[in-house]
Structure 1
Amino acid sequence: MDLTALIVWLIVGAVAGWLAGQIVKGHGFGLVGNIVVGIVGAFIAGWLLPSLGLGISGILGSIIYAAIGAVILLFVIGLFKRAA
Structure 2
Amino acid sequence: MNKEGIMEDNRKGTWGDVTEECKMDYHGHGYAIVTHNGCRVAEVGHKAFDVREAKNYRVASKPNSMDADLAGFFKVEKRND
TM-score range, shorter chain: under 0.3
User: Which of the two has greater strand per residue?
Assistant: 2
User: Which of the two has greater helix per residue?
Assistant: 1
Q: Which has the higher contact order (CA 8 A, sep 6+)?
A: 1
TM-score (normalizing by structure 2): 0.27
TM-score (normalizing by structure 1): 0.26
